[in-house]
Amino acid sequence: MLKTRFSLDKLINGLKLDPLNVLNIYVVGSRLWGTGTYNSDWDFIIVLKKWKQNRSFLHKKDWDVHVLNKETYENRVLDEHRFLEVCTLWLPDYCVWKEELSLRKQFIKSFKPKQFMKILEEEKIRDEKLAKKMLNKEKYKKVEKINHYIKIMDDISKQIIKNKKITNYFIKKE
């Protein structure tokens, strides 16, 4: 288990969120994939009951936070089958900081493998374009990180399609 350098309250207060409005908080990124270190930044998905926008990205200190309102989160999991949001359904306990809204059962009933694969391919194409851009800028560590994430998406998506769940988030680098 990764040790945390701060608390749930510190995150909520640091982002100036109303604690009563927060439904779910998930740790994602390198700390989920098993590639993070004590000094790695923190990546979160936060689901709020109400949010002024459908979806937004906040950056503060070493926190990168995807904030979604409840309806957008439900749509990205149940209808669109977005990779990162779908991954939140089977996170290890240390990556679930708060969860009042669980969509696991609904997802299993509504899962459309073709839709999931279509969206996954779009996300991989986007990431491959980003990797090429980073390669042109000679940012080789970034390219390696993006390519590893694409491999993670491939391996985890196979688990989701085969088992309708994720049993292993830790994908070895090649």
Q: What is the pLDDT of residue 3?
A: 43
Q: What is the pLDDT of residue 54?
A: 66
Q: Contact at 8 Å (CB) between 153 and 124?
A: yes
**Tokens 């459309």 found at:** 112
- DSSP for residue 93: G
Q: Which of 136, 137, 132, 171 is nearest to 154 (CA)?
A: 171
Report the mean per-residue pLDDT for the chain: 90
| pLDDT at position 38 over 90 | no
Q: Which residues of 129-139 are buried (b: 16+ CB within 10 A; e: fewer)?
A: eebeebeeeee
Q: How many Cα atoms are found within 13 Å in the side-chain-facing hemisphere of 154?
A: 12
Q: Report pLDDT digits (tens) over 107-153.
A: 999 999 999 999 999 999 999 999 999 999 999 999 998 999 999 99
DSSP line for 22-33:
EEEEEEETHHHH
- DSSP for residue 89: G
d(CA 5, CA 25): 16
